[in-house]
Amino acid sequence: MKQTEKEAYVFSVFEHISEGYDKANDRISLGLQKQWKKMLTNRLRKSLPQGGRMLDICCGTGDIAITAAGERPDVSVTGMDFSPAMLAVAAEKGRGIPNLSWERADAMHLPWEDNSFSAVTISFGLRNTPDYEQVIAEMQRVLSPGGYMYCLDSFVPDIPFVLPFYKLYFKWIMPLIGGGFRHRKEYSWLWSSTKSFLRQKELAGMFRRAGLAKVGLKSRMFGACTLVWGRKPKQPKHT
């Protein structure tokens, strides 16, 4: 699928499933998605500097941005997505949180200046973008020196004996559990996008090539969900 075709298709998918997206995620993750997201929000709570700024790109219905803003009221949090329908759900869920704002933008071309944010995150969104390296480069660009970049996403497990069960569930069972007969085609995209996505170590390598240091990862469900992080080196002091 060409870049422009992928972008148009993903846009259509999320515009159609926005209203039932949260409940569907609970069903298809067997209720585990909240625990997976805590891997990220716990790190944000501890690592964000006092009075910092955080950007959550491909924010979807806003779970990460809303949790981060609630746990760190001293931090200015921006949730960004290219789908108006998803942002509308996020804005309703996050109504009344004073340090939280929403922005419609393209992850491939972030509309912020260099070194603008103390932390930049993306969860379950990178595999849906047309060019992974460009998105990572943009995230690194707007990240301030010393700040952390995080990616939480679905991956094909590297453990051979798990693969047949993983494929059976994600290819055949999950679309029906997530979307029912009405939206099963849209939820089939989760399998397609994950199958063609990077492996965990490939993504970690991409973080390093983007210039990030202290790259690490943490996995759940035999690697089906993994958090990858890295830190942008501090700029050397001039003497």
| Mean pLDDT computed over every residue of the chain | 87
Q: What is the pLDDT of residues 31-40, one digit of tens each?
A: 788 888 999 9
Q: What is the pLDDT of residue 53?
A: 98
Q: Which pLDDT value is given to residue 100?
A: 98
Residues of the chain above pLDDT 70, percent = 83
163 against 175, higher pLDDT: 163
Give the pLDDT confidence score for residue 175 in this predicted structure: 66
Q: What is the pLDDT of residue 228?
A: 97
Q: Of the given ranges (16-20, 64-68, 72-76, 210-214), which has the lowest mean pLDDT? A: 16-20
Q: What structural domains does the chain harbor?
A: 3-156+197-231 (3.40.50.150)
Pairing of strands 76-81, 53-57: parallel
- Angle at Cα 133 formed by Cα 129 and Cα 137, nearest 5°? 105
Of 33-37, 144-148, 179-183, give the lowest mean pLDDT range: 179-183
User: CB atoms < 10 A from the CB of 214, how many?
Assistant: 11
pLDDT of residue 87: 96
148: nearest Cα among 125, 126, 118, 127: 118
Q: State how far the Cα of 222 lies from the Cα of 166, in Å rounded to an integer.
A: 10
Tens digits of per-residue pLDDT, 119-131? 999 999 999 999 9
Q: Which residue has the higher pLDDT, 238 or 194?
A: 194
